[in-house]
Each structure stands twice: as C-alpha cells, then as structure tokens.
A and B are shown apart, each in its own frame.
Chain A
Amino acid sequence: MDTILQLLANGLMLGGLFAIVAVGLTLIFGIVKVVNFAHGEFLMVGMYLTFLVTRMLGLHPFVAVIVVVPALFLIGALTQRLIIQPLMSARDDHIQIFATVGLSTALINLALLVFGADIANTPASGLRTPIEIGPVRVLSGQIAIFVASIALVIGLQLFLQNTAMGRAIRAVAQNRSAAQLMGINVDRIYILTFGIGAACVGVAAVLIAPLYPTSPTIGTYFVLTAFVVVVLGGLGSIPGAFVGSLVIGLIDSFAGFYIGSDMREVAVFGVFLLILILRPAGLFGKQLNLSHVSP
C-alpha cells in the first residue's frame, strides 16, 4: 500500500513537472498556431539564467524569477516579431517549423559556446530536501513545482477568461479576421501571446534548475514529453495539457516500477497512441464542430 502511495506521489510530482513545461507550449500553439520547436531551448536558456543569477548574486533560485520571466517574455516576443511574423504571410507551416527548429539548434550551439558541454549546477537551496507526508516522501522542490503548475494553469485561465486582453487573445484564435474588424491588432496579440508562453517556461526554468543539472541539451529531455502531453490533452487546451501531464506522469511512475524502468517510455507511448485512437482530438480537444456554420 505504501508503495502504491509513493508511486502515486511520484507520478503526480512528475506530472506537475511536465505540466509546467507544457503550458506555454500549448498556449502558443492554441493561439498563434505555431509549433514552437525551440520551447525546450527556451527552458534551457531560463535554467542557465537562473544558474547565473543565483551563482553571481548568491540569491535563492526563486528570486531569479524577477530576471528570468521578463527575459523569457522578451525572447518569446522577439521570436514572434523577428522570426515567425515575417514568415506568416507566406502561410506555409513548413517554413515556420524549419524556423523554430533552426532557432532551437542555434540556441543549443550558443549555450555550448558560452557554457561549454559541462553541466552547471544551480545551488539546491533546500529544494532537494525530502519531506515526509505520512508514508510518502517527496522533495520540497517537487512540491513547489506541482503547486506552481496548478497556479499557472488557473492563473492563465482566469487571465484568458476574465480580462479584456485575454478575451482579445481568444478572439484572435477563434476568428482572426473578425478580430481585426473589432479593432484588435492581431500581430501584437501574437507577439504578446508568444511572450507569455515563453514567460511560462521561464517560471518552469526557475523551479527546475535547482533540481536538475543544466546542460545545453537539457531542453530536449523535457520538451519531448511536453509535446506528448500537449497532443494528449488536445492541442491548445491548457487544462488538457495539465490533465495529460498527470496521466503521463502516473503511467511513467507505475510502469517504471511494475514493468521495469526501461519499459517506461514504451508504456507512455502505448497509452498515448491508445488515447489518440479513441479520441483523435485528445482528451480536451474539440472534435470538429460544424454546428456554428449556419444554414
């Protein structure tokens, strides 16, 4: 019984980790309709920034949020403005894919150049301390990630549902040209949304850096699962990405224990395929809906 509870806890913690990385990715996809293949490298850049801020200033890693989140917002906004937007008139999705893949490669090489291939360890600052909750042991840093992922999901939903800017963002996603007719500057909304999506992964970076060693290719490690989670949850659905993350986290945890750690990924992708066969649009995705096309 205790084992099951521990596996459950591990799965949920892992789910929170996947979710906090995936939220920004699904936001950008849902609104800007661009698959950001550089998302993992945004995370990597955020982790290095966290490392630098804590090392150089000797501050708690969480304080780095003041620097990392605005920096990532800026990187995301500039990516949209300088790379994606000029390609948007081409309206050829392949070109955008090449562009973000290219950006990803460029960022990895930049990190190799600046930091070398060696890993950088952000000080743990008490975040790798085990905490016992009944029979279950988790790290304090993992709880922080889990709580932050929930806060981020709820915060984004509140922003999108209840503010004028959030409504404008949804309007652009639902009907781009009608949004223009309302007086919305669509280019600006895309820049803003890309910035917010990148800022979200900045939050993830600050929380993950104290727990995992930072290296130029660390982004790839996290972002592959993030892509799975985004598709599983229903492309563009933020609550979907969260639930999808928990599902994948739990499968990973239980399959790793009962089937063997080398079979975890097989189990994850097996369930992934199964869910997509049963629900092609993902858990929270919209099935093709033609009801609003009036006669």
Chain B
Amino acid sequence: MLKLETIDAGYGATTILHDVSLDVNAGEVVTIVGANGAGKTTTLRTIAGLIRPTSGRILFEGRDITRLSAHETVDLGITLIPEGRQLFPEMTVHENLLMGAYRSAAREKQADTLEEVLTLFPRVRERLDQNAASLSGGEQQMVAIARGMMARPKLLMFDEPSLGLAPIIVAQVFAVIDTIVKTGATVLIVEQNVFHTLKAADRGYVLENGEIVLTDSGKALLANDHVRQAYLGI
C-alpha cells in the first residue's frame, strides 16, 4: 500500500533521513522504533507531505506521491495523528472532529462517521461542546485519534500517542488503538512504549540516526539482542 524508496529528507539544509526504505502492506500494523531524535517524526511528516523529500520516491497504492502536499495526501487516504495531539485549542471538541472530515469525500459521510467514532469514544461524546484546550491530556489524545478517524483514512499513522500520559490513560489509549487495528485498519505507528507496540505489530523497522538498520517481524524484533539492549533495557 505504502512504499518508501531510498528517501532523503530533512529541514532546510540539514538532512535527517538517509536512504530510508520501508513498506506497509494493506491491513498491516507496522512500527518504527528508534531513540529520541532518530527521525521517526520526520519520517511520518515526510509521508504525510509536510516535508518534501530531497531524493527518493514515495508510492501510495502504486501512485507516486513524493511531491504531493499534506492537503493532497489526505485526499488519497493518508492521515497522520501528530505528536503532541495538535488540537485546535479554541474550538470545541465537536468542531475539532468536523475539521477531521474537512475534505469533501469525508464530509459527505461526516454524520455517519461521527456516530461510529463517538461509539468508539464514549468519553469524547461527553465532551463534545467543551473547548479542546480545557480537556485533560488523555482526553485530548482521544480527540486527536477520533479526529484522525473522521477522515476515513486508508492508512492511519500514529506519532507517540502515549507521550506524556499517566500509565492508566496509556492503557486506555492502547486499548483504543487495538480496537482500531482489529477493524482491519492499516497502521504505521511510532511509540516510545516499544514493548507494547512490537507485540501488537506485524512488522517493525529500527531507525538509528536517520537510517533503517534493522527490519523484521514484531516477534523477531522483540527477541533481537540489539533491540532488547537498546530499546527494551533488558
């Protein structure tokens, strides 16, 4: 479904990603594991079209999307739930969700999607009329995920969904992601909680200093010595 071929990308003159190649097949859960500053967020932002690669190709469903902008990749079915939630603080939760269905294809099904999403997030339903900024961190993360689903994406990308949340809330966030995965969604996820994510993932990539150094099934990576030492602290 998604294919990155030898991608170089970065900020201004600084290249962060070197020769990154990775695939995500339809229905798969794929994770990218890496230390702080390895380039995980940069990879997701490049796929989403917020950063333009300086070389290499990105294909989505066989189509070259390397030069597309973020608002164009959304149309094709790529949605990024960004690091740090990035809600619209002075909008209500309801308005935030409507923004998720901004593109015309999603907007046509907006009412149905909203009902489906709110069934999955009963807490979000209770908060619909509140300002997004007034929610707790965990609630904001739920809204961010719900807003991403409002676009009815084919590929859903999560960037550190458990960042800065209390352990109980983290468990709730993972439960929600598991539910989404069970519906057969295609997911690319970056998560500091490597143990949990590798267990849930079909496959994983290890990113170090902007380069992919290792790739295997989630299970195999969990058993890998390097991964255990560097990322699981075992």
Q: Least Cβ distance of B170 to chain A in Å?
A: 13
- Can you report 7 residue pairs joining A to B where beta carbons are below 8 Å apart? A167-B91, A179-B99, A180-B69, A181-B48, A184-B102, A291-B133, A294-B140
Report which of B50, B90, B132 forms a contact with A180, defined as CB distance below 8 A: B50
Contacts of A167 in B (CB 8 A): 91, 95, 98-99
Contacts of B151 in A (CB 8 A): 182-183
B137/A295 in contact, CB under 8 A = yes
Query: Would you give the 0/1 interface string for B73-117, flagging 1 where the beta carbon is closer than 8 Å to chain A?
Result: 011000110100111111100010011101100110000000000
Distance to closest chain A CB from B63 (angstroms): 17
Q: Which of A46-54, A170-178, A270-278 binds B?
A: A170-178
Q: When the two chains form the complex, which single residue of B74, B86, B98, B140 contacts A183, counting CB atoms closer than 8 Å?
A: B74
B80's partner among A174, A181, A185 (CB-CB below 8 A) is A181
A168 touches B102 (CB 8 A): yes
Chain A residue, CB-CB nearest to B139? A294
One of B69, B74, B90, B133 near A182 (C-beta < 8 A): B74
Mask of A150-189 contacts with B, CB within 8 angstroms, 1/0: 0000000000000010011011001101111111111000
**A170–B95 alpha-carbon span in the complex (Å):** 11
- A174 and B88 contacting across the interface, CB-CB below 8 Å: yes
Q: Are A164 and B107 in contact (CB under 8 A)?
A: yes
Interface majority SS on A: helix, strand, loop or mixed?
helix
Indicate if the CB atoms of B86 and A175 lie closer than 8 Å: yes
Chain A residues with a Cβ under 8 A of chain B: 164, 167-168, 170-171, 174-175, 177-186, 289, 291-292, 294-295
- The interface bits of chain B over 24-44 (1 if a CB of A lies within 8 angstroms of the residue's CB, else 0) are 000000000000000000000
**A171 contacts across to B, CB distance below 8 A:** 88, 91, 99
**Nearest B residue (CB) for A186:** B71
Known contacts: A167-B98, A178-B82. The answer to whether A183 contacts B103 by CB under 8 A is yes
What 4 pairs between A and B have smallest CB-CB spacing?
A: A292-B133, A183-B74, A294-B137, A180-B70
Task: Indicate whether B164 reaches chain A with its CB closer than 8 angstroms.
Answer: yes
Q: How far is the CA of A224 from the CA of B199 in the complex (A)?
A: 64
Of the candidates A175, A177, A180, A182, the one having the most CB atoms from chain B within 10 angstroms of its own CB is: A182
Residues in B with CB closer than 8 Å to A183 are 70-71, 74-75, 102-103, 106, 151
Does B14 lie at the interface of the complex (its beta carbon under 8 Å from any beta carbon of A)?
no
Whole-angstrom distance between the Cβ of A295 and the nearest chain B Cβ: 6
Contacts of A182 in B (CB 8 A): 74, 99-100, 102-103, 147, 151
